[in-house]
Amino acid sequence: MTHEELKALLPLAALNRLDSEEMAALREHLASCHECPAELREFENAVAMMALAVDAPTSADRIAQKLEARLAAVAPVIAKAATDRPASRVAEPSRRDSSRRIATRLSIAAAIVFAIYGAAVTSRLSNLQSAYDARANQLAYLQNRFTTLEHDAQMAEQKIDALSKVLSERVRLEDVLDAPDLEVTRLGPLPAAPGARAVVIASKSSNSAVLRATGLETPPSGKTYELWWITKQKGPVPAGTFTAESGNEVIAKVDPPPVGDRVMLTAVTLEPAGGVPKPTGAMYLKGAPERE
Amino acid sequence: MAKATENITSDRELVAAMANGDADALRALSARYAHMLGALAYRFVKDESDAEEIAADALWQAWREAASFDPARSSVSAWLVMLGRSRAIDRFRAARARRPPENPQPEPAPVADALSELETAERAKIVKQAVGELETRERELLELAYFSDLSQTEIADKVGLPLGTVKTRMRTALIKLRDALRRLR
């Protein structure tokens, strides 16, 4: 990498956002460049200063108190010297030397005790840290697993909703099939839907009708399929709209034939969404009622 | 207000003194950076007490590791922030429960000296102004880079930008921030 390319890495290096390869290349460069180390330090200072842009309720005094507590715990003489300094100024020279020797011995003793204790504490802290890390990893894994299971549950609910809808449509079909006076009309395909088939079953006694269709493609956006009873007296009478999904059968409740009129033909056309009072679009299916 | 360059020299001298066991040097460094470290930690843990503990931990670690600080590799402020940020991220991840006080509190320490407080307040004002000059998206990316433990890819997903664009805009944002700080000091 050229000097300019490496120099361009300095801001991200200050943010600790370089990958390991970039960092290694930059470190090597910094060892021999006179310009980049100072610039990196300036970026690091700018990054460090960002903490000052944060308003927080923390207290520098309380932080200082915590430090004093630690200093007092590990080196009592150091802490005591900070507060006793004015008194030591007026002590006799010989007494001051003696105090200093005692203080030095005590501080050495404290340092030895601290070193031994510190090593044991460090080891224990290291073990605790490892245990914490393991628990944190375990928790992260469980949280991920929970999220996955939650997602799976949502997908399952959606499937249940879809199946419930299909089931209710089938129940509707069976209700009509149970009626004693069924009129069946089979619809065959037209050039617009060569693979489509449909059957409409109607019952005057239950005043209900159901359509079952297969082979219809998903209608274009803004369009819907509409069923028509084409009668002798009134001509085309709308019987309801329905949609389809390519590859799936459709079961839809439709309006029964008008009372007091004779149905000559039954048809399905493609119409604007919401349906229309008279057919305007291409015919996809047609058929005549099966007369006894 | 003392300029950053004077502080850098003074900060190094303080760390050198800390390496020799001078606790007053630690107190002086704390007076300069405790507020900043506490605010940084608070952004992660959102708890005042935990944030102050983290800041104290960072300064205590600096006290213990003063002898190994290399001024050629980093400024003191960047080193302290690195210590503080690392601890804040660890705490944030572990979500450790608040520790009850174990010992009776010692006598209150003297309040951080007025000059340090004034310097900190002045620097905070300048930094806020510099950050305010960034565009919203630039500020957002810098804050995500600095105040979160998200990877670059996760940041790119979060903001809905390609990874390369995120890196370029982060770089641009920090250059602008550095230039603004230079101009405003």
ipTM of the predicted structure? 0.75
Rounded percentage of chain B residues whose pLDDT exceeds 90: 33
Residue A262 token pair: 């004779």
Q: How far apart are CA A200 and CA A287, in angstroms?
A: 10
Q: How many CA atoms lie within 13 A of B16 on its CB side?
A: 8
Residue A74 CB partners (closer than 8 Å, separation 6+): A110, A114
Query: Helix and strand tally (H, E) in chain B?
Result: 8, 0
In chain B, the residue whose alpha carbon lies closest to the alpha carbon of A128 is B94
The per-residue pLDDT for B35 is 87
CA distance B120 to A55: 12
Give me the residue label for tokens 């998200």: B150
**Cβ(A268)–Cβ(A225) below 8 Å:** yes
At residue B97, does pLDDT exceed 70?
Answer: no
Spacing of C-alpha B99 from chain mean position: 23
> Do the Cβ atoms of A188 and A285 come closer than 8 Å?
yes
- Scan residues 15-74 of B and list those with Cβ closer than 8 Å to A: 21, 23-24, 26-27, 30-31, 34-43, 48, 51-53, 55-56, 59-60, 63, 72, 74
Give B102's pLDDT tier (boundaries 50, 70, 90): very low
Dihedral, CA atoms, A52, A53, A58, A63, nearest 10 degrees?
A: -10
- Checking if the pLDDT of B8 tops 50, the result is no
Which residue from B minimizes the CA distance to A80?
B23
Residues of B with CB below 8 A from A48's CB? 36, 75, 77-78, 80-81
Low-confidence ranges of chain A (pLDDT < 70): 75-99, 103, 109-111, 113-118, 162, 166, 171-172, 291-292
Can you tell me which residue has the tokens 């995500």? B144
| Inter-chain CB proximity B127 and A15 less than 8 Å | no
Residues, chain B: 185
For residue B164, the chain A residues in CB contact (below 8 A) are none
Chosen for mutation from A33, A58, A78, A138 (greatest number of chain B CBs closer than 10 Å) is: A58
- State which residue of chain B sits closest to A133, comparing Cα positions: B94
> Does B169 score more than 90 pLDDT?
yes
Residue B109 pLDDT grade (very low, low, confident, very high; cuts 50, 70, 90)? very low
The answer to whether the predicted template modeling score (pTM) of the entire model surpasses 0.80 is: no
**What is the rounded distance in angstroms from the CA atom of residue B41 to the CA atom of residue A44?**
17
Distance CA B71, CA B93 (A): 30
Query: Please, what is the average pLDDT of chain B?
Result: 80
Looking at the complex, report in whole angstroms how far the Cα of residue B62 sits from the nearest Cα belonging to chain A.
11
